Amino acid sequence: MKTFGIGCGVVLLLLLFIVIIAALAISRSYNGLVNLQTDVDTKWADVQTQYQRRLDLIPNLVSTVQGAANFEKSTLVEVTNARASVGRVQAQIDANKAPTDQAQIDKFQAAQGELGNALSRLLVVVERYPELKANQNFLSLQAQLEGTENRIAVARRNFNESVQTYNATVRRVPTNIVASMFGFPQRPFFTAQTGAERPPPVQFNFGTPAPAAPAATAAP
């Protein structure tokens, strides 16, 4: 009887030891996931900050450019509308927590892409107005916009790298079990686009003369 009691005690101690080891392993995996998830959210906030920086530059850019004589109004309207669209999309997304839905980040990326394209077209049109070269406010905005585009590219790359590390950990055994137990879903990336590894060019070739208008054809 005494031997049986000792055996039961040993079994209980062994079970307790296993439970403690399992609890420590789960705790370690959980804390690791929390740290990685926090890093993803931090990198997402950095992306949002850089995009917001570009958004904040646009009103001054538009105001400065529209002061040029006979500037193309349709181009300014396009930029203004694209900026408003980005604002509506950003209002639906938590700036401090990375999306868990690929469709949501795709929508955000599409809106930012439309704004980037509108800005690119604006800058092409600007090249036809060399008088803006003497505008110090415009030159300052040019430098800030170029720097912001570079920072956006870096922030997006850092975000994707952080998501890649997090997602790999979420899928890895045995961490995937803990992730499933405590609700750590995979996070979507910014999808690759042609030229996404480079910021859009911000060039103002004021020295290049505007293309000559085609000669008018005399009426018969």
Average pLDDT for residues 29-34, to the nearest whole number? 95
Whether residue 200 is predicted with pLDDT greater than 70 in this model: the reply is no
pLDDT at 192: 67
- Residue 138 neighbours by CB under 8 Å, 6+ apart: 61, 64, 65, 132
**Average pLDDT score over the chain:** 83
Boundaries of every domain in the chain: 2-182
User: pLDDT value at position 193?
Assistant: 57
Query: What is the pLDDT, as a whole number, of residue 2?
Result: 62
- The string of pLDDT tens digits covering residues 129-180 is 888 777 888 889 988 999 999 999 999 999 999 999 999 999 999 899 999 9
Model's pTM, two decimal places? 0.79
- Check if the beta carbon of residue 122 is closer than 8 Å to that of residue 204: no
The DSSP result for 22-71, as a single string, is HHHHHHHHHHHHHHHHHHHHHHHHHHHHHHHHHHHHHHHHHHHHTTSTT-
Query: For residues 220 and 126, which has the higher predicted lDDT (pLDDT)?
Result: 126
Class of domain 2-182: mainly alpha
Q: What is the pLDDT of residue 7?
A: 65
How far apart (Å, rounded) are the C-alpha atoms in residues 198 and 143? Answer: 17
Arithmetic mean of pLDDT, 182-204? 67
Over the stretch 68-79, which tens digit does the pLDDT of each residue have?
A: 777 888 889 999
Q: What is the DSSP string of 99-124?
A: -S-HHHHHHHHHHHHHHHHHHHHHHH
Phi, psi of 95 (to 5 degrees): -70, -15
The pLDDT assigned to 1 comes to 60
- Check whether 184 has a pLDDT greater than 60: yes
In this prediction, residue 24 carries a pLDDT of 87
What pLDDT is stored for residue 11 in this prediction?
73
CA angle 71, 81, 73 (to 5 degrees): 15
For the segment 80-86, the average pLDDT, to the nearest whole number, is 95
CA angle 48–53–56, rounded 5-degree value: 120
